[in-house]
Structures are given as structure tokens and as C-alpha cells.
A and B are shown apart, each in its own frame.
Chain A
Amino acid sequence: MSEIIRLRKGLDIRLLGKPERKLADVQAPKSCALCPDDFTGVTPKLVVKEQQRVRAGEALFIDKNHPEVKFVSPVSGVVEAVNRGARRKVMSVVVTPDSTQEYVEFGVKSVQSLSGREVLSALLEAGLFGFFRQRPYDVIASPEDSPKGIFVSAFDSKPLAPDFEFVLNGNELDFQTGLSALSRIAPTFLGISSKQTMAALTEAKNVDVYVFKGAHPAGNVGVQINHIKPVNKGEIVWTVDPEVVIFIGRLFNSGKVNMTRVIALGGSRMNEPAYCKAVIGADLATLLNGRIADAASSRIINGNVLTGAKTDMNGWLGAFSNMLTAIPEGSDVNEFMGWIAPRFGTFSVSRTFFSWLTCSKEYDIDARVKGSERHMIMSGEYDRVFPMDIYPEYLIKAIITGNIDKMEAYGIYEVAPEDFALCEFVDSSKLELQRIVREGLDKLRAEMA
């Protein structure tokens, strides 16, 4: 067992609607879509036309700046529509799946006999490299870079997030193959939780295993990098979701790109919260059919409550979403004199509420901001939930003022918007920190290009 890294800062938000550890039956998707916006930093260039037939694993669009990075169709079928937004920006490429799936054959390969370059080109060919993200900037990685390391966090500590051990069940072999493949490219680090016991994780081969103990954001890969090998200026690391590691393993073990994953369905408005199998891009209308209680007043989130994007029944499962959440929207709630009322059922980290008394109660939190935006007033709020060797408040101020030198000095290269999600949650000044960090990263990236 490796040494345990304890994180003292953080917060576990106890939400109602924790998914039960069982697989629910869902119908096969009626349509499937890949949204270029899910792949941060990519300028999409379409390589298919409407009504064209594609097989699962065939490219739908590529990155204009790195044409070798492909984004492939998760299913075989007919390209039904290319939806465009303002200035003809591609919003989604929709494929209507066939009843029997036809996969592109990439050939079974033995990872151990391949070099790093060969693994990389196999991943590029099969479109799985598009799921690699890089720090700094938290954008899709560029295949020309040679990263200092590849980091995989095998647990998600966000509210209601799926238990990766349940997801991994039955995929252990593919997961190990995936890790071995990554380790051919660069030294690979696997961060696991002290609660995880599966041998596939604790005794994973060809990788350095680090054990983390503590509240969220212990499972954030950025926090883990900060404690294992912090990113310095000029260095690049890649991060890969553990589910993608399984996809990679499948590619080498079966020769096919099979982007079916186990996702969690959670939240207080989700009927029978559970897990289900779904392919990336599956339409939510089919996936969530009959599962949302009172859809009109509910918010459906592509992902978790902290970092996920608001969507609706016409949306598709995001490329990086490992869960779908449904919570009350709350726009019809009027709380009288909230500044003084005791508000017993309300969750808060502040002791001006009484939620600290009920340590095991699960809360039903709606999507209201519950206050209005102010300048930063309280100090130390972010620090308490930000277990990295960084002063978050000062970094945010540097970003707001657009001071590139200070952003660098304060450690912007190590962070991603998701690392600030908890800060945003607890912020009494109600600032949109994740948006601010994203804008800062984009600005820095443009400046450095």
C-alpha cells in the first residue's frame, strides 16, 4: 500500500438522491450527438456531411489546429443533423444509430510490444486522444507535446458522483490495459481513494499509485497533481478520466472503439437514483424517459451539481459526463427575510445556519444563487475548501484584473475551473469563479500562443 496523502481542507456536500448500486435498464438511444464545446480548446472542422453513413469509431470532426486529433462517432448510423449556433459555430453533430452496431476495426494489439509513439498514434487513429486533457489551461491535449506525466484520478469525490469501483466492476482487465498503454507514453500516476479496496486499483501495474484521504476535492485530478508532482511553468501534464482508460483498454483488447460507460443518475428529482449503461452522446429524452419527477420545475445537469452544465430533455450525455443529476430549479421559491430567519432545512458551511448540527442529514439543495453578487468581502472562505498550495483569492483577483505576470506567479498553471467549484459554492459574495478561471486560462493561452 502506498503512502496515504491526507487532505484536511475540503467539503462533502450531502445531497439527497444518492444513486443506488444497481444497474437500471434503459432503452437504446434514439439519437446520439457529439458536442464540440465539450472538448475545451478545440476548433472543430467537420469531416462528415448530413445523411452520410458512419461507423462507430469513424471521425465526425477534427481539430482544425491539430488535424490528427479526431473526434469519432460513438455509434454507427446516419449523420442526421449538424446543429449550428451563432456565427455558424458547430454546436452538435447528431447521428441516428443503427439497430445493430458496426464498429471500425482497429485490430487487437498487445500494449507491451508497442512503443509510446505507436500507442499514441493508435489512440489518435481511434479518436480516443480527444479525451486527453492537459494542464496548464485545462484544454484538450496536443499530441506533439511530451508530457511530464499522465494523471488519472480513479475516484470522483463530487456530490452524488458515481462510485468508480462499481463502474470498474467487470472492466478490470480493460482498465489495466489502458493504464499500461498510458504508461508507454509517459510516467503514469493513479490517484485512488483510501476507501477503495479493489485490487485492480490498489495493485494496478505499470503506474505509481497514490492514496488520497479527505473530503472533496480530494478526487480532483488537479489537487492530486498538486500533491504528487506540481506543474511548473513550461511543463505539461496530461489528465485522463478513469472511464476513458477503460475505453483505451477496450481499444487494444478488442480492436474496437466502444464508448459505452456506466453513469450515475442522481439527485432529489431523479426517480429511483441508480446507475445505468449509456453510450457517450446518448439523447437524454430516451435515457431519462420517465425518470425525472416534475420535469418542468427541475434542473437537469449534464454531470454533477458543482461542475456540470445545465441542460434539458433535448440534450445529450456530455462527452466527459460521468453522471446526470436532477435537482429542483427553485425559481418559484420565495424565502421571507432569509437574512435573519433560522432556515433549519437549509445547507450551509456557515454556522449562522443550523446544518452543522445535523451531520448525517442529506439536503435537497435547489439551483438558486441565494444572494446577490458582491465584491469579495469575507476572507479565507476559499482557503478552507482549496487543498492546494495556492492562494485562491489572490489568483482570482489577478485573473479579474487581467494581470498575466501575477496569474503565473500565483499558480494558474496548476488549476482548472473545476478546482474552484467548491470555492464558488461557499462564496458568500456569489462570484462566478469557474467562469472567471476559465476566462483567465483562455486569456493566458491566447497570450502565450
Chain B
Amino acid sequence: MSLRNYLDKIRPNFEEGGKLHAFRSVYEGFESFLYVPNTTTGNGCNIRDAFDSKRMMIMVVIALCPALLFGMYNVGYQHFIAAGLATEFWPMFWFGFLAVLPRIIVSYVVGLAIEFTVAQWKHEEIQEGYLVSGFIIPMIVPATCPLWILAIAVAFSVIFAKEIFGGTGMNFLNVALITRAFIFFAYPSVISGDGVWVVDHAICGLGSSAIDGFTQATVLGTASTAAAAPAFDWNMVWGFIPGSVGETSVIAIALGALLLLYTGIASWKTMLSVFVGGGLVAFIFNKVGPDSAMAAMPWYEHFVVGGFCFGAVFMATDPVTSARTETGKFIYGFLIGAMAITIRVMNPGYPEGMMLAILLMNCFAPLIDYCVVQANVNKRAKRVNK
């Protein structure tokens, strides 16, 4: 309890008139992070469920951990394979860890600094939504993404995709995806092509710099340019393929998906229908599609390459930007899957369609909900006329 007493003791410094008043939002953020607020209900319901947005967000972060840890290992694995150095598990993991860690730090420092500032400025509490976005962002960019570009992208997306709409819960576009989209359109060379997916220099003495300029395309990158797509390989399921940090391992993502579905934080309706939509459209392309490598790629291979799984599990299910009605979730998910595959196949310029598909459907989610709710409204209106 001494920590509690200490917090109580320093509280006056952060209140109106205190010398550290400028850091009120930081103090409150840390206080509510350490202890569940013990304010009691005023009017209305006298008791409340113990579940709050902090616990929800942290569950998503936990669900992301397997994919991140595997991603770190895979960053090292890809480097050592490229360098032709056979090595053991830990050096590979540490290499990847050191490659990814700065991106996590930059993402959190820049994003949270903006969150704290806005919270202080608007006299609000710090909202924990960025805990998840900040964790996802380093996972959906290549491990070679320059830190300054990442910082600009994070700042852009936190300010223009979230804060100007009113913060977590009011944004209509997924913040992490906007970060990626910003890099994708503003600095395409650092997030596409075949020179960015493998770290080609040594980090803190680990690894080798001998492979400077090494190129290795992702599966989708190959499929969009080559005559035939790489054949299905179990490494695509395990995740030993080049790609953005967190997106490669279907197994690690599935572990996260299990936690999210089990706790009910992510909607199974959205998740399932992304796969149904994607699988169906890919299957149709398999049968009657144009004569291209991407169209001929088997439907199940579409699931295990690129960001399809990661997007379906962690991004499409974002409750704020997805459809909010239960019926709407089926339509929303289905269209994401369908659009993602359509973009992959029909637009060789964007071999990874998942990001654009989710952002597009983010824009249409309110319309889907509108139609679903309107059906209920019409039913009610009909009842009057009866």
C-alpha cells in the first residue's frame, strides 16, 4: 500500500495550481494504470461489470504477442538464411529483437506523446486505444522501415485519423492501417518491392553486413510479377517467409485469434466472413479468372501469404472501425475478404490487397450499419400503418 500512499502524496502537484500541472494527464494515466479507479457510481446502475476498456485493450496486446515474438525470430531467420550463416535459435531471435525493438519504441513514443498532449489539452483522461495501435504498427511494416519515416507516419495517423475525430471510439479508419497506408503512398520504396523484406546489415555485432543490397521478394510480390506463383509450402503456414514483421506466421496469429474469440473481444462473425469472402472470390478466380499467376494461386494459399490472416484477425475485427450491427459484421467481413483478393488479382500494382480492402470497408461500415438499422426502422414504421 506504500505505492498507493505515495501516489496520494504526490497527487496535489498535478492538480490545478500544482507545479507539475502540465503533466496531469500523465499522472492520471499512470495512476489508473496501477490501480483500478475506485470512484463509485453516482446515479443509475449501482453496480458495474469489472470489464473495462483497459482490460480489453491489454487482451488484444497479449493476443498479438505470439505473432510479434515469432516475427522477431523470423526477421533474424531471414537475415541469417540470406547471409548463408547457419546459426542457432537465440542469435536469430536477438537479431530480430534488436531490429524490431526500435520500431516499437518509436511507435509508442511518438503515438503516446501525441495522445498525452491531446489528453492534457482537452482536459480528458488518456485513452488506452493507442496501446493496441502502437503495438500493431511495428508488426505491419518491414523490419527495415526507417525510424524517421515511421515516426512521421505514426504522427500523421494518430492526429489525422484519430484525434481530429475525437479520439479512440470516434475514429472511422483503423489507425494502424492508416500509418501503413501513409508509408505505402508517401514512401513506397520502403514498404514495397523486393529490397526491403530482409535486414541486410549487422545489428550490434549480430548478423552480417556482407549481404548489403540483398533482394528477396515476398510471395505476393513474386506472384504479381512472375509467370507462376510460388507453390504452396508449409513454411508459409509456419511463417518462415519474408514479409512484414508480424504477418507471416499463420500459427502464431491463430493463437492470438483463439484468445480473442474465446474472450469474445473480437467478433467471430467478422473473422469468419473475411475468410469466407476471400476464399470464395479466390476460388472463383481459380476457376474463371484471368490468366495470371495471382489468379491461379490456390484459394487456400491466398490465406497463408501476405497480411490476409493478420488483417482478418486483428484489423478487420477492430470494434470501432468495423460494422457495429451483428448482421452488418457478416457483410462487412465478407466484403473485406472479397475485396482483398480482388485487389490482389486485378491490380498488379498492389500485390497486397488486405490493407486497402480493410480501409475501404472501414469507409463503408457506417453505410452497412445504416442499411441494417434502417431495416429495423422500416419494420417499426410498417407496424404503425398496420
Residues in chain A within 8 A of chain B (CB atoms): 13, 15, 159, 230, 232-234, 299, 301, 305-310, 325, 327, 329-340, 343, 346-353, 365-372, 374-380, 383, 389-391, 393-394, 409-411, 417, 421, 424-430, 432-435
Contact A334 B324 (CB under 8 A): no
Instruction: Supply 20 A–B pairs (Cβ within 8 Å), ascending by A.
Output: A334-B38, A336-B35, A348-B51, A350-B51, A351-B263, A352-B55, A368-B36, A372-B37, A372-B52, A375-B127, A379-B267, A379-B325, A380-B324, A380-B326, A394-B369, A394-B373, A410-B376, A421-B45, A429-B53, A429-B169
Interface pairs A-B: 6 shortest CB-CB = A371-B52, A375-B169, A338-B36, A379-B324, A350-B51, A434-B44
Contact with A along B62-91 (1 / 0, CB 8 A): 000000000000000000000000000000
Asked if B264 is an interface residue, CB under 8 A from chain A, the answer is yes
Query: What's the minimum C-beta distance from B70 to chain A, rounded to whole angstroms?
Result: 22
Q: Give the nearest-CB partner of A347 in chain B.
A: B50
Contact B376 A389 (CB under 8 A): yes
Contact A425 B47 (CB under 8 A): yes
List of B residues within 8 angstroms of A409 by Cβ = 377, 380-381
Contact A433 B44 (CB under 8 A): yes
Contact A333 B38 (CB under 8 A): yes
Contact B262 A351 (CB under 8 A): yes
Asked if B32 is an interface residue, CB under 8 A from chain A, the answer is yes
List of A residues within 8 angstroms of B215 by Cβ = none
Contact B169 A377 (CB under 8 A): yes
Contact A377 B47 (CB under 8 A): no
Contact with A along B167-201 (1 / 0, CB 8 A): 11110000000000000000000000000000000
Given contacts A333-B38, A335-B36, A374-B127, are A391 and B325 in contact (CB under 8 A)?
Answer: yes
Given known contacts A329-B40, A377-B169, A428-B49, what 19 new A-B pairs fall within 8 Å (CB)? Answer: A306-B46, A307-B45, A309-B43, A334-B1, A350-B263, A352-B263, A353-B51, A368-B36, A369-B41, A371-B53, A375-B168, A379-B323, A380-B267, A380-B326, A391-B325, A409-B377, A411-B380, A429-B169, A432-B44
List of B residues within 8 angstroms of A434 by Cβ = 43-45
Query: What's the minimum C-beta distance from A344 to chain B, rounded to whole angstroms?
Result: 11
Query: What's the minimum C-beta distance from A290 to chain B, rounded to whole angstroms?
Result: 23
Asked if B322 is an interface residue, CB under 8 A from chain A, the answer is yes
Query: What's the minimum C-beta distance from A234 to chain B, rounded to whole angstroms?
Result: 8
Asked if B383 is an interface residue, CB under 8 A from chain A, the answer is yes
Asked if B166 is an interface residue, CB under 8 A from chain A, the answer is yes
Asked if B343 is an interface residue, CB under 8 A from chain A, the answer is no
Contact A424 B45 (CB under 8 A): yes
Contact among A350, A375, A421 with B170 in the assembled complex (CB-CB below 8 Å): A375
Contact B383 A230 (CB under 8 A): yes
Contact B127 A351 (CB under 8 A): no
Q: Give the nearest-CB partner of B269 in chain A.
A: A380
Contact A350 B264 (CB under 8 A): yes
Query: What's the minimum C-beta distance from A404 to chain B, rounded to whole angstroms?
Result: 14
Contact A368 B39 (CB under 8 A): yes
Distance of A15 Cα from B46 Cα, bound (Å): 13
List of A residues within 8 angstroms of B37 by Cβ = 368-372
List of A residues within 8 angstroms of B264 by Cβ = 350-351
List of A residues within 8 angstroms of B43 by Cβ = 309-310, 432, 434-435
List of B residues within 8 angstroms of A411 by Cβ = 376, 380
Contact A338 B55 (CB under 8 A): yes
Q: Give the nearest-CB partner of A346 in chain B.
A: B50
Contact among A233, A308, A336, A352 with B34 in the assembled complex (CB-CB below 8 Å): A336
Q: Give the nearest-CB partner of B264 in chain A.
A: A351
Q: Give the nearest-CB partner of A336 in chain B.
A: B35
Contact among B41, B42, B50, B168 with A348 in the assembled complex (CB-CB below 8 Å): B50
Distance of A370 Cα from B1 Cα, bound (Å): 19
Q: Give the nearest-CB partner of B374 in chain A.
A: A409
List of B residues within 8 angstroms of A426 by Cβ = 49, 51
Contact A369 B263 (CB under 8 A): no
Contact among A232, A299, A380, A410 with B383 in the assembled complex (CB-CB below 8 Å): A232
Asked if B9 is an interface residue, CB under 8 A from chain A, the answer is no
Q: Give the nearest-CB partner of B383 in chain A.
A: A232
Contact among A309, A368, A377 with B40 in the assembled complex (CB-CB below 8 Å): A368
Given contacts A380-B324, A391-B376, are A305 and B34 in contact (CB under 8 A)?
Answer: no
Q: Give the nearest-CB partner of B322 in chain A.
A: A379
List of B residues within 8 angstroms of A340 by Cβ = 55, 58
Distance of A372 Cα from B57 Cα, bound (Å): 14
Contact B47 A371 (CB under 8 A): no
Query: What's the minimum C-beta distance from A8 to chain B, rounded to whole angstroms?
Result: 13
Contact B51 A349 (CB under 8 A): yes
Interface hits, B336-386 → A, CB 8 Å = 369, 373, 376-377, 379-381, 383-384
Contact among A15, A331, A394 with B38 in the assembled complex (CB-CB below 8 Å): A331
List of B residues within 8 angstroms of A368 by Cβ = 36-41, 48
List of B residues within 8 angstroms of A378 by Cβ = 53, 56, 265, 319
List of B residues within 8 angstroms of A374 by Cβ = 53, 127, 168-169
Asked if B123 is an interface residue, CB under 8 A from chain A, the answer is no
List of A residues within 8 angstroms of B55 by Cβ = 338-340, 350, 352, 428
Q: Give the nearest-CB partner of B56 in chain A.
A: A428
List of A residues within 8 angstroms of B51 by Cβ = 348-350, 352-353, 371, 426, 428
List of B residues within 8 angstroms of A334 by Cβ = 1, 4, 35-36, 38
List of A residues within 8 angstroms of B377 by Cβ = 409-410
List of A residues within 8 angstroms of B48 by Cβ = 368-371, 424-425, 427, 430
List of A residues within 8 angstroms of B32 by Cβ = 372
- Most A CB contacts (10 A, CB to CB) among B45, B167, B369, B377 go to B45
Contact B322 A335 (CB under 8 A): no
Distance of A370 Cα from B380 Cα, bound (Å): 37
List of A residues within 8 angstroms of B44 by Cβ = 417, 421, 424, 432-435
Asked if B15 is an interface residue, CB under 8 A from chain A, the answer is no
Q: Give the nearest-CB partner of B328 in chain A.
A: A379
Contact A369 B49 (CB under 8 A): no
Given contacts A370-B52, A428-B49, A428-B53, are A331 and B40 in contact (CB under 8 A)?
Answer: yes
Query: What's the minimum C-beta distance from A340 to chain B, rounded to whole angstroms?
Result: 6
List of B residues within 8 angstroms of A372 by Cβ = 32, 37, 39, 52, 125
Given contacts A367-B46, A374-B168, are A332 and B38 in contact (CB under 8 A)?
Answer: yes
Distance of A331 Cα from B57 Cα, bound (Å): 25
List of B residues within 8 angstroms of A367 by Cβ = 40-41, 46-47
Asked if B320 is an interface residue, CB under 8 A from chain A, the answer is yes
Asked if B54 is an interface residue, CB under 8 A from chain A, the answer is yes
Contact A353 B324 (CB under 8 A): no
- Most A CB contacts (10 A, CB to CB) among B41, B168, B377 go to B41
Distance of A391 Cα from B370 Cα, bound (Å): 11
Contact A352 B59 (CB under 8 A): yes
- Most A CB contacts (10 A, CB to CB) among B36, B37, B262 go to B36
Q: Give the nearest-CB partner of A363 in chain B.
A: B47
Query: What's the minimum C-beta distance from B39 to chain A, rounded to whole angstroms?
Result: 5
Given contacts A333-B38, A352-B51, A378-B56, are A391 and B46 in contact (CB under 8 A)?
Answer: no
Asked if B33 is an interface residue, CB under 8 A from chain A, the answer is yes
List of B residues within 8 angstroms of A435 by Cβ = 43-44
Asked if B129 is an interface residue, CB under 8 A from chain A, the answer is yes
Contact A337 B324 (CB under 8 A): no
Distance of A299 Cα from B41 Cα, bound (Å): 10
Distance of A379 Cα from B263 Cα, bound (Å): 14
Given contacts A310-B46, A329-B40, A435-B44, are A338 and B54 in contact (CB under 8 A)?
Answer: yes
List of B residues within 8 angstroms of A377 by Cβ = 53, 56, 129, 168-169, 319-320
